Structure 1
């Protein structure tokens, strides 16, 4: 009897073990959970292709426990959805169960309470509820037996977003069920609870996406969808990774993107800091790379210029009133506070005299108080706006094809910005007195009197025109002979030599601003009292005609507040000159490397300069019409205007890259040693990462007030990068800070700048960040990746090499090195 009892007990235990193991293995293998099945701690559900995994986790340094979904194939545990984000489990005694009613329940077994459930599930009994994790990352609950049920599930996690928008997720509203899908930041990296920032679709008026703080305060808005992209994101273009759609119909309104290349992992995340970031998984680096951020500069801040004003990041100040409007508070505008915006200079008559002024390349105004019709023409749209006294502007609602639909605004026009290109068109209503046509009509009487004299004037005009053409032809022919045809393709104003002689007092030594290997720079004053800087190339200049033309052609196509503005050029005989805007504070090197002058720049000013240089370099690499590699970025090529705003100068060595070009090779290595990246200096291979290296050197020099190439420490020659690297590893980076900065130092900003500088000067280009990431890292407070050893040289330098190729500081030595090497 005893043997039989023992045998029965063993069989019962074996059955229970087999049952338990079968339950877990079925979850893992099939990616499903059936009614009454349970998932416990250390058990998971895996999607069919093992792309995603669902289970229990603890984020960061937290001791709390949550149920979430994460990428299974990625080495870094990346959570994309959290069930109980606002109701954490305090210990590992939790279980996730699917009930017979098709409700997913998370229970705290210690307390015996339900901490979370899929509360929107159907409460009516279903025959065979199944929970399944799909390879999209969506967990669905449906009734077994019909494939259609998977397409229309009882409940799905994609309806309840957390901080991530995955491919296939919908950011918007279901107008039938009332479900609103939006994603909200975590409170911190250790706490997935709902944070301060959320991305929602605003359907008041024409729909657009908003980034909100605390659910109410608008931080950023996308602008309305124009049929191709969001109006506030002109760089939103088709790409080989994902495609995006925006749906507006009677059933639902939403934004969605889907993968074109399914082997790529990408996600949109709203960070605890309030930034929306698109991230791409880089398999070779085993990390998430920052790809884009719709909010990139000051003009992206909501309503920064107030109503009836436009923000243009390339202007200073950035805000300006629309035509026919004036500042509400001129005193506040004078101190750069434009938030109260503008008002009309003349009241609308609401009659036939009112008209519209056409604006192009805009981010369209806020659409909360707007109306739209997808079938009207633009002519019908204008007519409807003109017949309604409250209508203030109109445009197409869809710009794809030849354009269609109608979008009307009522009341204030808020949060407008101007882009360099790819913006939208807006027709703004103004009074008759503001229309050019009305102004022209006032002079029509005088025009009729002038037309009486037309027959006689035509004869005289023809004679004068013939003489002018003949004279211009001879002068142009003579000029072409003198320059040997070398000034073709130069699209800036051509200054005569006599004009520049007069402006610079015959290139008087008293007007000399500085010099370099190219020659001299002089201050000049034109007839209109405009101050200029004239860069006069010497006959022995290291910048030849090719570099001269390159600089003219490149800068003429670039417009940014942190790039020096080229006003014109002169080629006459042997003379080659460039005419720039005058920078009263000269070159940055003439200040930070001078013991007396360096006290003029406290830490806030230096940090402002670092950020300005970063923005200018980002524009060259990404935001300009041409992708420009500068190749000679250094402290002496940073000029400072009256307000100490930095301007990148000297584009004689710059190169244009094609849209998809990543790097290039040259047989002629040019630039300045101490700023040149190792791969470029050694093999002639350069890319945007070459400029990033130079930027890193520049940042460390600004912080330390020392030259990289001439740095000496304890009687041993070394460069600055090596010393910074040693102190960083010893946790003594603050020893680097220039003593003249005193109490103005912001320790957090200084340490962050040094850290970012070291990331930029890493030996291998692929390790260095892009300028987009640099700006993000400088402006945030999150953790930074650890830098690897910098690409620095050790050894003695020969001479003091002060002056650059474009600075007009006080030095006189040539800092420019041009070396002929064979690229490998």
Structure 2
């Protein structure tokens, strides 16, 4: 009888060979977790167990959300995967967690070596795996916890920062790829030098800097506002320095993740959508890239060019700034004289890099100024905390780096300047001048006005006559770009030699050029006979000059002398279609390059739709409008057909449908209704083309009459999606990435716009393992549909159509 009771207890709690029941959140030294077993936190929120990644699959021990099993938040053996399902997790009598392989060798360990009376491992509802004494619950007495060793994800109440006593650091490290949890090249640290700030690094290089904490948010994250779901915090005391956040509503699920390509993203789970929603991202744009404008340079993303020197400073090397190379920054117009210097206020800034700074929490701003003035090495000062009128003192020493300007939520910075720069002071700070000086000032102003008048008249003479029907005022208002001389561009392009010609579109020809400083450029020439080109010219200037993103082609300037020219950064690998649909060059696009292109286009569109100050609908996303740089990174180009929305507008209707057959959504092609979901449809077509190496329009299959969309849909429905894959990438392909990309592509080309995901959802789906909804039937999936039959006499591949009246 006793033996029967003992056996019953063994079956209830754990098997006789020590396997833990799936209902438990804790294991003791007498228990273990084998592959196929798991721990479940008491509230059923998180689960710990084994999962597979890679091709061929490798096994890892990790933690994930119980109801979102594909979202991994922590990995134990990320650098030492198991080759099979023989792994076992145990707790030793010395209080250490160990992961063993089938032959008993140690794969991973928590490395605790102090003996403990009764150690246990417990998975908490916070997602924290802890080792503690069985009778203890005080977090301060945990012997080990996974929160001290984060991987790529920060959960609520997890700390990112330092223990100042022991020197122990907690930081994030990206996965190597979406299918490889091993440590990647990107890390997120709280930098302890000077006043702490978050630094996103690739190796030792800084890629993004959050700016210092100002009491409400990081100085470089003005969109990080208080909300009802999270509370952000920064702790700085004698023992610890760390950043953390807390969830204010227990029903909210949120995570901060450093994805493999070095982007920091916050996601929130939406139950009704059964998916993650992107809440914020960093870096966002070119001005978030570290030190874009160099020392004493200021970056403003809605300006063109984005970089300029702070008032009182000039470019260190003006010839470099002429070709938009700002890396060497700016220098003072007038040298400092320590005892006579003044401080000039600059407003609405992201505060400079604080690695060489000093701070004091108790000083006020006036005391801060006095301390800075007495130290000749002090270059600037500011409040430490902006709440309640401001408090504390933050001083900078040395050059001021990584400054950007904001329209709102920026901060005031007081920069040390020579006394001769007193004209930069606000009017209430300026000293009264003698009457003679005032007279001289009036005379100077009069002289400047005369010179300006002469300059304006000279500029008007240089401007060519506008094509008939154009409006001079509208055109001048659009030109917010550096102006190039025709002679400069002519020399750069070898006087528009046919050997320099890259191609030609409806607007006119495009030429390659090299400026005097060596910078390569692409020059788009507006054909005098092209009315479409004139509209494109105005659209490009209006939109592209105001957009700055790593996945958008950069417009460097324009020329309006004799000809209308647009000058772009040169893309040496030309357009995506020149690789994708070429029998020989397509071999240069392995799977890694194609997946990078799919991701890059998605991020560029997300910026256009949601993150830019203008809401832009591109309306002509296609392979020929995606250009590739030296490293095959994609950049969206050709904004000639783009439209912007303002306020809460989400869609519009037009009686002039423009775009390219094969990429246009049904509601736009047939009804003239366009929205961000129109671009999503075009993106989905482009994804399927990138994966297959086949054009959507003109696709032929011996077994049916459907186009590429219909073919992809047929294969997906039959569970044969991998047959869509271009044969030249099969050896380099990640099966999971390919299947996921095909799935996402089909979600994007669904017939109904409401069924298609937003670009923020697309970016989220590409960068995570969340479960994807089943796609519905795509739009325009037959080879010959009503729209294409009406134009069967046109060219077989890409046709841009204009002037079709909507129905």
Shorter-chain TM band: 0.5 to 0.7
* TM-superposed deviation, 1:98: 5.5
* TM-superposed deviation, 1:283: 5.3
Which residue in the other structure is 2:70 paired with? 76
Q: Relative to structure 1, is the Cα distance of residues 234 and 447 closer, same or farther in structure 2, using a 3 angstrom cutoff? A: same
Distance 1:20 1:703 in 2: 53
Structure 1 unaligned spans of 5+:
1-10, 458-486, 496-513, 522-530, 542-546, 568-579, 737-746, 803-810
Distance 1:55 1:646 in 2: 42
Q: Relative to structure 1, is the Cα distance of residues 445 and 772 closer, same or farther in structure 2, using a 3 angstrom cutoff? A: farther
Aligned match for 1:389, one of 368, 376, 384: 376
SS in 1 for 2:212: coil
Distance 2:322 2:705 in 1: 51
Aligned match for 1:170, one of 150, 159, 168: 159
Which residue in the other structure is 2:419 paired with? 432
> Would you say the 8 A contact 2:71–2:769 is kept in 1?
no
Aligned match for 2:169, one of 170, 174, 180: 180
> Would you say the 8 A contact 2:71–2:770 is kept in 1?
no
Distance 1:299 1:451 in 2: 37
Which residue in the other structure is 1:22 paired with? 12
SS in 2 for 1:371: strand
Aligned alpha-carbon RMSD (Å): 6.3
Distance 1:653 1:299 in 2: 24
> Would you say the 8 A contact 1:35–1:129 is kept in 2?
yes
Q: Relative to structure 1, is the Cα distance of residues 280 and 615 closer, same or farther in structure 2, using a 3 angstrom cutoff? A: closer
Q: Relative to structure 1, is the Cα distance of residues 636 and 410 closer, same or farther in structure 2, using a 3 angstrom cutoff? A: same
TM-score by length of 1: 0.65
Distance 2:745 2:296 in 1: 41
Matches within 5 A, 1:129-140: 130-140=120-130
Q: Relative to structure 1, is the Cα distance of residues 711 and 168 closer, same or farther in structure 2, using a 3 angstrom cutoff? A: same
Q: Relative to structure 1, is the Cα distance of residues 283 and 252 closer, same or farther in structure 2, using a 3 angstrom cutoff? A: same
* TM-superposed deviation, 1:381: 2.5
Which residue in the other structure is 2:142 paired with? 154
Which residue in the other structure is 2:98 paired with? 106
Q: Relative to structure 1, is the Cα distance of residues 814 and 617 closer, same or farther in structure 2, using a 3 angstrom cutoff? A: closer
Matches within 5 A, 1:205-284: 205-214=194-203, 216-239=204-227, 241-281=229-269
Q: Relative to structure 1, is the Cα distance of residues 313 and 14 closer, same or farther in structure 2, using a 3 angstrom cutoff? A: same
Is residue 689 from structure 1 mapped to residue 681 from structure 2 by the alignment? no
TM-score by length of 2: 0.66
* Deviations 1:403-443, CA, capped at 9 Å, x for gaps: 33322111122233345554433332222344435999999
Distance 1:280 1:92 in 2: 35
> Would you say the 8 A contact 2:656–2:802 is kept in 1?
no
* Deviations 1:265-322, CA, capped at 9 Å, x for gaps: 3322234444333344465776656554312344433334443333445566655444
Distance 1:632 1:191 in 2: 35
Aligned match for 1:301, one of 284, 289, 295: 289
Is residue 816 from structure 1 mapped to residue 802 from structure 2 by the alignment? yes
* Deviations 1:321-368, CA, capped at 9 Å, x for gaps: 44444555566656655444444443311122x233443443322211
SS in 2 for 1:583: strand
Which residue in the other structure is 1:583 paired with? 566
Which residue in the other structure is 2:335 paired with? 347
How many correspondences in the alignment?
A: 697
> Would you say the 8 A contact 1:563–1:616 is kept in 2?
no
SS in 2 for 1:228: coil
Distance 1:447 1:629 in 2: 55
Which residue in the other structure is 1:366 paired with? 353
Answer with 1 or 2: which has the greater Rg. 1
Distance 2:642 2:5 in 1: 81
* Deviations 1:574-627, CA, capped at 9 Å, x for gaps: xxxxxx985379xx9xx99999xx99xx999x9999999877744442223454
> Would you say the 8 A contact 1:370–1:408 is kept in 2?
yes
* Deviations 1:737-795, CA, capped at 9 Å, x for gaps: xxxxxxxxxx99xxx999979956733247756545778999x9999999967532542
Which residue in the other structure is 2:33 paired with? 40
> Would you say the 8 A contact 1:305–1:311 is kept in 2?
yes
Aligned match for 1:411, one of 393, 398, 408: 398
> Would you say the 8 A contact 2:148–2:170 is kept in 1?
yes
* Deviations 1:635-687, CA, capped at 9 Å, x for gaps: 99999xxxx997654679644352xx8x5586989655755423555688754
* TM-superposed deviation, 1:370: 0.7
Matches within 5 A, 1:768-807: 770-771=758-759, 790-792=778-780, 794-795=783-784, 796-797=788-789, 798=791
Distance 1:452 1:40 in 2: 85
> Would you say the 8 A contact 1:46–1:52 is kept in 2?
yes
Distance 1:60 1:218 in 2: 29
Q: Relative to structure 1, is the Cα distance of residues 433 and 708 closer, same or farther in structure 2, using a 3 angstrom cutoff? A: farther
SS in 1 for 2:37: coil
Q: Relative to structure 1, is the Cα distance of residues 168 and 89 closer, same or farther in structure 2, using a 3 angstrom cutoff? A: farther
Distance 1:700 1:113 in 2: 45
